[in-house]
Structure 1
Amino acid sequence: MLLLLSHPPPPHPQSGPQPPRPPVKHPPPRPPVKHPLPRPPVNHHISEDLSWTTNTASLAKKAQQRLYFLRKLKRASAPPPILTTFYRGTIESILSSCITVWGSSCTDYNRKALQRIVRTAERIVGVPLPSLQDIYTTRLTRKAITIVNDATHPAHCLFSLLPSGKRYRSLRSRTTKLTNSFIHQAVRLLNSLPSRLPASRTTRLAGV
């Protein structure tokens, strides 16, 4: 004898107003992720006597370590354009980091130590590479012209023209360290340029 079991019928919905549903609780918003500030690729060192010996020694050590990877690329038969690009991105960028600040203040011994690394890289790459002095002169000229053309720059007032309008007024200095600082070297370099004045500055003085 078979017994048929049937499920009870579903209850009928109740008539009348339904009770209010509880509000949906959303999770609290997540706090913004604080990314650490990017550290500069090279840390610079200033001694108590305002010398750059420790700084240049640190730069030379970092650049010397990266010559290993340049030799590895050379052994892998990388073409000179690839070697030059790698040198400029990993070695020259270290040697010339903030060079407008310490380029004229470091000693001849430290300058020759950095230049030896450039010559070593030049032999590995097989093409001529710019010397540190050329890089320093180029960047110093570019930075000085930028300051002269930017009236909002804090150092703009230090580049004042003489009444002749052809040279900048040289700043007085009593010490060698101040003479070798950025502003003094920039004024001296601008006065030695063949054109004397940047193009935009000359145009403004002419009243055009």
Structure 2
Amino acid sequence: MATHSSNTIIKFADDTTVIGLITDGDETVYREEVRALTTWCQDNNLHLNVSKTKELIVDYRKRQREAHTPITIDGTPVERVSSFRFLGVNISEDLTWTHHTRYISKTARQQLFFLRRLRKFNMDSRILCNFYRCTIESILTDCITAWYGSCTALNRKTLQRVVKTAQHITRTELPSMEDLYTQRCRKKAGRILKDPHHPSNNLFCLLPSGRRYRSIRTKTTRLRDSFIPQAIRLLNS
């Protein structure tokens, strides 16, 4: 568990991610958290693979950034990267999704080869559509509620071109990326509303009328386009 309130530790299987909020350039607490994690692993006979450990810094300060001293684990400096893959999603240091959309569109296009092969073998359109949904649409929509709302128009066109190519191959109308995003947002919001123990459940507050949800005030485009505000707008529409 995190030892400081400004830090968060996210664990999934054998992957551990430490998130630190650094204020006024003071990294003391963040570095202490990394040292505490390292010590805990040593005490519990767990080996940290430093070569696979990466550090990503998100910094929107307008003034000139000072040189950042790398985090070290057992005397070995941790590599700083501009993006890294977290549970299938490519997160960039500027929190844009161009790198991620390029990656998944390239991966999805590689699967179009097999879709064309099935078409060449005169497979039924129902089989082609099932194959598309299992192997291509699943790639395009993985964690879509987390990133699609903040994509640029160019990013969305890149993804939609993959869908149009699949439509041409299957000769069937396929749901657009926008429709898939809306559908997944509504579905995820519905699950959160049904689970009173979900961390985000209290963010969906009904107005006194009982028919609409209270909108979340957003000062930045990044927050406005994120999942919770988008889901509330969809539920109110």
TM-score, normalized by length of structure 2? 0.63
- Map of 1:123-202 to 2, 5 A cutoff? 123-192=168-237
Paired residues for 1:30-109 under 5 Å: 43-109=88-154
- Cα offset, 1:43, TM superposition: 2.4
Gaps of 5+ in 2: 1-12, 15-84
Per-residue CA distance 1:97-136 (angstroms, 9 max, x = gap):
1111111111110100110110000010011111111111
Distance 2:90 2:211 in 1: 38
Higher RCO (C-alpha under 8 Å, 6+ residues apart): 1
Aligned residues: 154
- Identical columns (%): 53
AA in 1 matched with 2:198: H
Shift of 1:67: 0.5
1:110 alignment counterpart: 155
Instruction: Report how far residue 157 of structure 1 moved.
Output: 0.5
CA RMSD of aligned residues (A): 1.6
How far apart are the structure 2 equivalents of 1:168 and 1:67? 41
Deviating beyond 4 angstroms after TM superposition, the runs of 4 or more aligned structure 1 residues are none
- Aligned partner letter, 2:164: R
Instruction: Kindly indicate which of the two structures has a greater share of residues assigned to strand.
Output: 2
Secondary structure of 1:86's counterpart equals helix
From 167, 179, 195, the equivalent of 1:122 is 167
Q: Deviation per CA, 1:41-69, whole angstroms, max 9, x where unpaired? A: x8211111111111101000000111011
Query: Which ranges in structure 1 are unaligned for 5 or more consecutive residues?
Result: 1-35, 193-208
